Structure 1
């Protein structure tokens, strides 16, 4: 395993019946990906998960969270086998580390980048992980996250979303001051909804589609909409406060909630 000098050891956490051989393989492969980093690796944590359920087509998951000189990157993958999940994780993590090194950033913006076309289309979609089929009446809100991040442009929000390997990213638009959400499109590129208007989208270097404004809903209405639809999340404005919120479905069948501060 080769990582930048002075880097932290790779911590591997296993959930489910993940054997020692796969844990060692993950450490080796993530170490190979980390070798492209120029800055010290302050922390590298890998989580492997395996579900033994014949009905689940992609039972193996692999996630990595890496602190590269103070910048947090994240990559995740899902596959039919643990070996495939780890191999895909290495590829996704290597891509993020390469982007971090090759792109000049000013307040998270990419400028003068040789490989700029790569990010304009977004990342290669991950194979979806099946949600645990928990009955709607037994689902609970298991995680609530509130953030008060500095306002961002569409490009900056897309960059942060890609760095964290998320499929969507809730943020505050830097021009309107209103909640906005950027998400990946299955066919490539991005969609933005909320505070970012046509002018903000026109300024973006990415391929961005402007979607209709988010609805005003109560939390109960958002939950009912999520339960009745096949979407993974609902972006909405709180009916009372106008606060931006994303209610999403966790892989364990419960809910998570992200709120703008």
Structure 2
């Protein structure tokens, strides 16, 4: 059956030549035809950022039959960023296809999600002076209720460094992130878990610190980590504060 490939929406930020935007659009359109499920929507964004070493940022989002597949990369030139974007999206679609095939056969194999995958190339955040840094993006959504295995798959498909969700087994607001060659999960108030996972997982025994956003910023800067997980001082819900590529901060909170 011939699938209809959706028109790829494009967006540019900064001085991005139209020919590179068209080139990125063409590459993502071709990859959409190779997706394991129908692609319902597609978007490409190219942005020139402030980082003098890797200013070119390229991002692509595909809605593959309701599952969002996201890739983001950075490079010294936009032409290079677009080529890397194509390669990584192709590999991500291959991994997603293997997962879907395994699920249909009743034998999910989450360990394959990152098998032989190259390390994600994250855009380094711009070293903006601390006194100029602000929380310029606040994203709030209803946290998905998921198992660590499901959270890991979503995190990889979305190309995230971490994933904020509610753990099905404990009901705790939790954050999952990569730790060496495995995964680690932190929770607002860790509870013993009896359920096994297909992914290699360790759970932090320490509860999330109950602090304000200002205190979370101080903690983030003190640790030098890319993000910090904390319990909001007023609500007690799990929040994540992270470094954005432009040197400012992003904040993720549960809706309500």
Tell me what 1:24 maps to. 22
Q: CA deviation at 1:36?
A: 1.4
Task: Give the match for residue 191 of structure 1.
Answer: 184
Map 1:41-120 → 2, pairs under 5 A = 41-51=39-49, 56-104=52-100, 111-113=106-108, 116-119=110-113
Unpaired segments ≥5 residues, structure 1: none
- Aligned 8 A contact 1:234 1:246 in 2: yes
**Could you tell me which of 183, 204, 207 is aligned with 1:211?**
204
| 1:162 to partner: Cα distance | 1.0
Query: Alpha-carbon deviations, 1:137-174, whole Å to 9, x = none?
Result: 22222122222234211001111111111010011111
Structure 2 stretches lacking a partner, 5+ long: none
Match of 1:159 in 2: 153
* Equivalences, count: 252
Change (3 A) 1:17 1:52: farther
CA contact (8 A) 1:33 1:91 kept: no
Deviations 1:235-255 (A, max 9, x none): 011233321000112122222
Shift in Å at residue 121 of structure 1? 5.6
RMSD value, Cα: 2.7
TM-score (norm 1): 0.84
